[in-house]
Amino acid sequence: MSNRSVPAADAARPSERPRPRKRSAQVDGSRTWFWEYGDQDAATTIVLVHGFRGDHHGLEPIAARLQEFRVIVPDLPGFGDSEPLEKTHDIDGYAAWLQGFLAVVAPAGRFVLLGHSFGSIVVSAMLARQASDDAKGPRPDLVVLVNPIGAPALKGPRAVFTGLAIFYYWLGATLPERLGFGLLRNALIVRVMSEAMAKTKDRPLRRWIHDQHARYFSAFASRGVVLEAFRASVSHDVSEYASSIGVPVLLIAADRDDITPLQAQHRLQTLFPDARLHVVHDVGHLVHYEAPDDAADSIRGFLAEHGPDAPAQHTGDGLDDAAGEPA
């Protein structure tokens, strides 16, 4: 039964489940905060990587529906609670960070890596990096990409809108600090973006989506960080890296996604050595908000097809627990 109409906190934090454990790790000189959900002794660990300008809250509705697994959701560097990178926030910087983060949290047993939106580019770039330099560290057994960015943003029919967005972020970074922050965190602009991406007609769910964006879409460390990350998000796409990803891949795409059209997702599927495409209908770029049950069910089915591994003890050197209540 679909929970698309489940309102507000119930969609992300069901009352019957434990609250997540907030922890942190030092990765390449900066501190990354992450949240652990589900069964900490599970045979499968799933690491979820969120999209541009968000934080771990965006993927919490999916994490909440995968409680039989160990689920880890970090805030990307420079967003949410995580500190910025000491290097440039380009795709190479984020890929290197993810590789380092995985080495620290050390997922044991079966390891599944999931990326949403911009997170799909970060995940794919890291996997291509692992394949090219034969680097050590945890390598996923399975990969899931939700609303993957499957085509170049600077080409095609959306290039004009991308150009306007580039100007917006450039202006926000070059104006005097107060004006620049005001522009980048402008509540009206965030609401217009949210209205454009939300496809549901369910009013309680739509209100909750707008509230989530209002709360978490402007939690970035600096204007420079958000400009660098935006440039990374529009300068690369998953199709660049697909051919080098040899593990089985599940693509979860939506038929009303305004960022990557479904036709491009079908083409993207053909670029992987082993990929399947699950299409969510009547949803756009917010599968994680509008159809978390559908996404979780397709992930669970994908994992079941590839069989469980034996339970393993999970370790992670250099991890710190947060003091007080989880965020």
SS3 252: strand
Tokens 């997170």 -> residue: 119
Other C-beta atoms closer than 10 Å to the C-beta of 18 total 11
Task: Specify the DSSP element, H or E, that contains 132.
Answer: helix 118-133
Q: What is the pLDDT of residue 312?
A: 40
Spell out, as residue ranges, where the chain has pLDDT lower than 70: 1-18, 134-136, 153-161, 308-327
Return phi, psi of residue 172, to 5°. -60, -30
Q: What is the pLDDT of residue 307?
A: 78
pLDDT, tens digit (0-9, with 9 covering 90-100), for 29-81:
999 999 999 999 999 999 999 999 899 999 999 999 999 999 999 999 999 99
SS3 (DSSP) at 316: coil
Whether 85 and 16 have beta carbons less than 8 Å apart is answered as: no
Is residue 80 a contact partner of residue 15, using CB atoms and an 8 Å limit? no
User: Rounded to whole angstroms, how far apart are CA atoms 317 and 310?
Assistant: 22
| Amino acid 14: pLDDT | 40
pLDDT recorded at residue 43: 93
Question: Residue 327: its pLDDT value, please?
Answer: 54
Q: Which of 273, 307, 275 is nearest to 110 (CA)?
A: 307
Which has the closest alpha carbon to 234: 146, 167, 115, 149?
149
pLDDT at 321 (0 to 100): 61
Report field, pTM of the whole predicted structure over 0.75 = yes
Name the residue with tokens 């993207």.
268
Q: How many CB atoms lie within 10 A of CB 322?
A: 15
Question: Can you give the pLDDT at residue 256?
Answer: 93
